[in-house]
């Protein structure tokens, strides 16, 4: 087993083997704080380790780490706001007009169309299993706790209302829940969000596509994983989502290859759920500001490798869209 490296040894390794200048107590403390493995090892490449970033000074690595951290900080509150708002909208519309507001009742009343669609039926059964598994786990975990949200209902012989179920659903669960609703309910939700376009979204699946797409970004932000190069990307953009975003914003070539494409999707959602209409504009402003700071802090070759040529054009077009 190899002997663990000291901080001084890691600094020598960066200088001698990686050709990166790092000296003095200040940069030594930065290396300790950011971490060699989470810091340098994580940020030394774009997307994969074969696409190395040509750093020459440790200060450039710090600039990229801080760039990534500032973007995560800006996105965190917006993504949490979107998740909460969409949950509330879907929950309210799912129980609207029903006699009972429980998951089981919604499942029976609003997830029963297209019964010959075996793929859809399998999704609905998986959703049902997942919901009850989460309820069971939460019920067990609440033993001895003061906050007994699930036990409050089940210990009285009642089913938990849907809003309680939504409190324990992940973003991917929310996307699956929406997918499993009948077509009429999905359409009502899409119209409430002013996102329904039958010429593009004939299956009423746009919202679930959006939620599945931003799920990986949301999880990376929440768990402090690296986001600047979209290495979190876990799916290709769906044709429906691509067509809708490009038609909605007038911004072409949405591929999810660059972080700006995710920011565009986030802004489209914010425009529909933000009652103050300022969050999206603030996010774009922060993104522009951090891009400018990065540009002044790293070599032009590094900046060009991180920020694609069409980012400025897309950002300007996004501002125009948000102001209309």
Query: Which residues, 6 or more positions from 252, have their beta carbon under 8 angstroms from its beta carbon?
Result: 246
- pLDDT tens digit string along 76-134? 999 999 999 999 999 999 999 999 999 999 999 999 999 899 999 999 999 999 999 99
Query: What pLDDT does residue 276 have?
Result: 81
Question: Residue 275 has what pLDDT?
Answer: 84
Tell me, what DSSP letter sits at residue 41? I
- The pTM of this model reads 0.94
Q: Decide if pLDDT at 1 tops 60.
A: no
Residue with tokens 């917006």: 78
Whose tokens are 């706790």? That residue is 145
CA gap 17, 133 in Å, rounded = 51
The encoded tokens of residue 160 equal 């938990």
pLDDT for residue 324: 87
Query: For residue range 119-136, what is the model confidence (pLDDT) as tens digits?
Result: 999 999 999 999 999 999
How much is the mean pLDDT over the chain? 95
pLDDT tens digits, residue range 164-192? 999 999 999 999 999 999 999 999 999 99
pLDDT, tens digit, 9 for 90 and up, residues 203-222: 999 999 999 999 999 999 99
Q: Using the predicted structure, report yes or no on whether residue 253 has a pLDDT greater than 90.
A: yes
Q: Supply the DSSP symbol for 309.
A: T
Q: Give the model confidence (pLDDT) of 29-82 as tens digits.
A: 999 999 998 899 999 999 998 999 999 999 999 999 999 999 999 999 999 999
What distance in Å separates the CA atoms of residue 158 and residue 160, rounded to the nearest whole number?
Answer: 6
Residue tagged 């600047």 (tokens): 228
Q: Sorting pLDDT into bands at 50, 70 and 90, what band is 3? A: confident
Residue whose pair of structure tokens reads 């050709």 in the numeric block: 19
Question: Can you give the residue ranges of every domain in the chain?
Answer: 61-322
Structure tokens at 175: 């996307």
295 conformational bin, left if phi > 0, alpha if psi -120 to 50, beta if neither: alpha
In angstroms, the CA 73 to CA 52 distance is: 25
Beta strands in the chain (DSSP E): 45-46, 48-52
Residue with tokens 């020598």: 12
Question: What confidence tens digit (pLDDT) does each residue in 278-302 have?
Answer: 999 999 999 999 999 999 999 999 9
Nearest-CA neighbor of 283 among 44, 81, 60? 81
Q: What is the mean pLDDT of residues 143-151?
A: 87
């Amino acid at each position: 087993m190899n002997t663990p490296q000291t901080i001084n040894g890691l600094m020598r390794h960066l200088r001698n083997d990686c050709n990166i200048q790092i000296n003095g107590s200040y940069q030594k403390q930065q290396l300790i704080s950011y971490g060699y493995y989470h810091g340098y090892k994580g940020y030394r490449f774009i997307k994969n380790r074969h696409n190395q970033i040509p750093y020459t000074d440790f200060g450039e690595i710090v600039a990229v780490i801080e760039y990534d951290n500032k973007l995560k900080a800006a996105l965190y509150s917006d993504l949490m706001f979107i998740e909460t708002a969409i949950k509330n909208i879907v929950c309210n519309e799912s129980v609207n007009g029903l006699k009972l507001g429980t998951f089981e009742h919604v499942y029976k009343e609003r997830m029963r169309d297209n019964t010959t669609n075996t793929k859809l039926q399998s999704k609905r059964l998986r959703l049902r299993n997942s919901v009850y598994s989460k309820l069971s786990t939460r019920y067990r975990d609440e033993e001895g706790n003061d906050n007994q949200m699930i036990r409050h209902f089940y210990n009285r012989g009642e089913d938990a209302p849907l809003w309680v179920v939504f409190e324990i659903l992940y973003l991917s669960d929310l996307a699956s829940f929406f997918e499993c609703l009948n077509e009429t309910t999905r359409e009502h939700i899409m119209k409430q969000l002013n996102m329904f376009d039958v010429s593009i979204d004939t299956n009423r699946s746009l919202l679930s596509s959006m939620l599945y797409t931003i799920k990986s970004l949301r999880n990376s932000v929440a768990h402090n994983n690296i986001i600047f190069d979209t290495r979190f990307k876990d799916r290709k953009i769906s044709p429906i989502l691509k067509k809708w975003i490009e038609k909605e914003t007038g911004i072409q070539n949405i591929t999810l290859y660059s972080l700006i494409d995710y920011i565009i999707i986030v802004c489209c959602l914010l425009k529909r759920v933000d009652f103050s209409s300022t969050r999206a504009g603030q996010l774009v402003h922060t993104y522009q500001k951090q891009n400018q700071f990065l540009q002044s802090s790293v070599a032009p070759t590094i900046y060009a490798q991180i920020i694609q040529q069409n980012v400025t054009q897309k950002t300007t077009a996004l501002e125009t869209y948000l102001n209309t």
